[in-house]
Structure 1
Amino acid sequence: MEELELGLCGQGGSKLDSNKPLVQGSNASQKDKQNAGYRSGKRKVLFEKRKRIIDYALVMAIFGIGVMVIENELSSAGVYTKASFYSTALKISISVSTVILLGLIVAYHALDVQLFKIDNCADDWRIAMTWQRMCQITLELMICAVHPIPGQYYFELTILANKDKALGREIVPYDVALSLPMFLRLYLICRVMLFHSKIINDASSRSTGALNRMNFNTGFFLKLLMTFCPGTILLVFMVSFWIIASWTLQQCERFHDEVHANLLNSMWLIAITFLKVGFGDIVPNTYCGRGIAVSTAIMGAVSMALLIAVVSRKLELRRSEKLVYNFLMDFQITKRLKNTAANIMRETWLIYKHSKLGVNHGLLRTHQKKFLTAIYASRKAKMDQKILFNNANSITDMAKTQNDVYDIVSDMSSSKYAVIEQLTNLKEKIQTIQERLEALPEVITRSLTQHQNRVD
């Protein structure tokens, strides 16, 4: 497909030079083939470079997050203060990794623009810089640029009033506000998984997607993961979100509340909020903590909805299992219909026997009741058979039936064209025979005239 697209680019270039003499046609086509091969090779090289760059970017992002967590935990434990040399050194390493990360993101988008130029046969890189792409680049740079800066800076954090605490303010380092957004860098994990998947690395898969005008983006890749391994994805997501939200809640609340200084208490609050329980024994006292609690509740609702959808899909019978079940149920219902029909015939004979041959009112009423029961059982079996037949006609079966009907109609159309062709040939032959028959009297007259002349 890559060679096909690049070959079309070469043809487009040759059309621009249509005023040249036709003698140069063979040289132009050979040049287009060489150009297509060059473009295909360059596209492959750029794709590999982009994959390596996004790997390095994820490493830098995780390194910065890890150092940030270590620095905050050491300062919270009282190992050193924010003004110490160790804190400054760790923050400088975070800043260096952030600068490298920003450079890698810019390089990634530069390679993406070059791939766009190759795919669309564009010569100017500014054609690829749409408003959507520029907004995406700006947003990624803003997300990845946030990090705790070296130094000791503080601000006042508002403490909300509740049943145990009064309204007040606490002096909190700026590292709290600058450290928590660093977890947004983990969006790079989805991009790395996308570029390391076999679907993206396979040229045939990309060709099929290009022919169907489908873009292999992160959304499509996440849908595939939720289709083929939903349990693993939901488990990893919920555990990761639980740990990250618990740590961020602890950082927001630990400066004024000893309860949240313990990470296990924050994990308990996140867990009961995520599961929609909410005992109320531990509550957040800052806007930051309450925002994290609201985000946890929203993500819990989304995760529960996805979990219910996955479980319901897993509990649904497969098509082969459904066919076996329908076959067995149809066999059982057919047997019930035969039994009820036999009971109706038997009770009819017994009613006739006790009413005509020998009158026994007690047995007559008993068999009449059994006769009505057999009729009701027969009607119920027929209704069950109808319901089973309606359930068997699922969407997949209807699609299969539609495909079969389409194949039959196609065969009939081809047979119709063959019959029409044979009838046309037969008509031509009949016309030829008719023309010869019309010319036959003339031939006979001429032959008789010649014979008469010879006799005379």
Structure 2
Amino acid sequence: GAEDWRIAMTTDRIALIALELAVAAIHPYPVGLQAYFQKTTTRTTLSETELEVMLALPMFLRLYLLGRAMMLHSRLFTDTASRSIGALNKIHFNTRFVGKTLMTTYPGTVLMIFSVSLWIVAAWGLHVCERHHNYRDLSSNYMEALWMVSVTFLSIGYGDVVPHTYCGRSICLLTGIMGAGCTVLVVAVVARKLELTRAEKHVHNFMMDSHISKRIKIAAANVLRETWLIYKHTKLSRERDHTRVRMHQRKLLLAIHQLRRVKMEKRILADQSNTLVDLGKMQNLMYDVLTEVQGCRGELDTHIHSLEKHVEELREGFRSLMPLLSSTLSTQNSSIRHLLREREVKTECASASGADR
């Protein structure tokens, strides 16, 4: 590590530390405490009320500490294997990643906790903004603020309770926006829960394919039947019934259109089923094929090495055979020369003895 800690302090890191210290330093002071101890009935001034609101509402910025604690105590963050896999895939284990994981694993629980927390915090902020004014609808008790936030969060808006300050109206506006976002998330979660699984989709497609195949057979049979009936009433019957022929021709056209429609449905179903191909299964098949190819390549390499070894042995054998052949040939040449010389000597002796006689 670095010997001096100031080496790791960049401008962005210093700005984040200063922002965190500023958020943690916000504390509202007790407004009206002096009047309470002096037993006076003087009402707090507007400046003190605004200062209390300005210091009380930013306190909720400290909720980022919950996300940090959730990340530090998460099993994904504390598990060494998970962090190693994430590092290999260039995944940063931060609060956003942990929140996405929890939203994927426990969507209903996360949405419920977030909605209830937002409801309570927004109601408290609305009550703080409205309690020092003369209007008694929201300053009477905390339950009225809860009711106001709930109807605003659900985008109902009965209008029986309304905010009168800009602070309260801003909180209601933010509550409505967050309520719309939570509604979208709830719809997405419910749609995902109602969606068929991969196995159920395969079963459904198989059943639909069987049903459409039966309909194709029925439509083709209807086409053949109407064609035969038209041929029967036009060629085989002695008296042609034009009404019956037109009726069968009309049925033939309807049967042909029905056959084309069912074939188009089967084609669309085939296109949809092609999108349901399990990528994991395809990857496993590709891995098996590659493993088999690598095995065949290994066997081929083994055979090639064995052939090279045999060729090398043959080459060494030929190299060792050459001296033997040369020695054998030289021996045979010398013996042949010796025999030829002996034959010449015998021939000369025979010719000399014949001349003496």
Q: Indicate the residue corresponding to 1:60 in structure 2.
A: none
Q: Indicate the residue corresponding to 2:68 in structure 1.
A: 191
Q: Structure 1 pair 367/432, CA: closer, same or farther in 2 (3 Å)?
A: farther
- 1:252 aligned to 2:129? yes
What CA distance in whole angstroms lies between the structure 2 residues aligned with 1:311 and 1:230? 10
Q: Indicate the residue corresponding to 1:127 in structure 2.
A: 7
What CA distance in whole angstroms lies between the structure 1 residues aligned with 2:246 and 2:102? 66
Q: Indicate the residue corresponding to 2:168 in structure 1.
A: 289
Q: Indicate the residue corresponding to 2:81 in structure 1.
A: 204
Deviations 1:37-69 (A, max 9, x none): xxxxxxxxxxxxxxxxxxxxxxxxxxxxxxxxx
Contact 1:246 1:263 in 2 (8 A): yes
1:413 to partner: Cα distance: 5.2
Q: Indicate the residue corresponding to 2:16 in structure 1.
A: 136
Q: Which runs of 5+ in 2 are unaligned?
A: 36-43, 340-357
1:416 to partner: Cα distance: 4.1
Contact 2:230 2:249 in 1 (8 A): yes
What CA distance in whole angstroms lies between the structure 2 residues aligned with 1:443 and 1:156? 122
Q: Structure 1 pair 377/145, CA: closer, same or farther in 2 (3 Å)?
A: same
TM-score of the superposed pair, with normalisation by structure 2: 0.78
- 1:419 aligned to 2:303? no
> In structure 1, what residue type is equivalent to 2:149?
I
Q: After superposition, where does 1:371-410 map in structure 2 within 5 Å?
A: 371-394=252-275, 397=278, 400-401=281-282, 404-405=285-286, 407-409=288-290
Contact 1:144 1:185 in 2 (8 A): yes
Aligned residue among 237, 256, 263 for 2:114: 237
Q: Indicate the residue corresponding to 2:233 in structure 1.
A: 354
TM-score of the superposed pair, with normalisation by structure 1: 0.62
Q: Indicate the residue corresponding to 1:218 in structure 2.
A: 95
1:197 to partner: Cα distance: 2.3
1:253 to partner: Cα distance: 0.9
Equivalenced residue count is 323
Contact 2:198 2:276 in 1 (8 A): no
What CA distance in whole angstroms lies between the structure 1 residues aligned with 2:286 and 2:197? 24
Deviations 1:183-213 (A, max 9, x none): 3323322222222222222222223223333
1:221 to partner: Cα distance: 0.7
Query: Once the two structures are aligned, what percentage of the paired residues are identical?
Result: 45
Aligned residue among 149, 155, 170 for 1:270: 149
What CA distance in whole angstroms lies between the structure 1 residues aligned with 2:173 and 2:65? 24
Q: Indicate the residue corresponding to 1:364 in structure 2.
A: 245
What CA distance in whole angstroms lies between the structure 2 residues aligned with 1:389 and 1:284? 57
What CA distance in whole angstroms lies between the structure 2 residues aligned with 1:175 and 1:444? 115
What CA distance in whole angstroms lies between the structure 2 residues aligned with 1:433 and 1:368? 83
What CA distance in whole angstroms lies between the structure 2 residues aligned with 1:131 and 1:301? 37
In angstroms, what is the RMSD of aligned CA positions? 3.2
1:254 to partner: Cα distance: 1.9
What CA distance in whole angstroms lies between the structure 1 residues aligned with 2:312 and 2:325? 20
Q: Indicate the residue corresponding to 2:104 in structure 1.
A: 227
Three-state SS of the structure 1 residue aligned to 2:209 is: helix
Moved more, 355-364 or 226-235: 355-364
Contact 1:155 1:174 in 2 (8 A): no
Q: Indicate the residue corresponding to 2:46 in structure 1.
A: 156
Moved more, 349-358 or 435-444: 435-444
Three-state SS of the structure 1 residue aligned to 2:59 is: helix
Three-state SS of the structure 2 residue aligned to 1:148 is: coil
> In structure 2, what residue type is equivalent to 1:156?
L
Q: Structure 1 pair 202/389, CA: closer, same or farther in 2 (3 Å)?
A: same
- 1:342 aligned to 2:342? no
- 1:308 aligned to 2:187? yes
Rg larger in 1 or in 2?
A: 2
Q: Indicate the residue corresponding to 1:83 in structure 2.
A: none
Q: Structure 1 pair 421/263, CA: closer, same or farther in 2 (3 Å)?
A: same
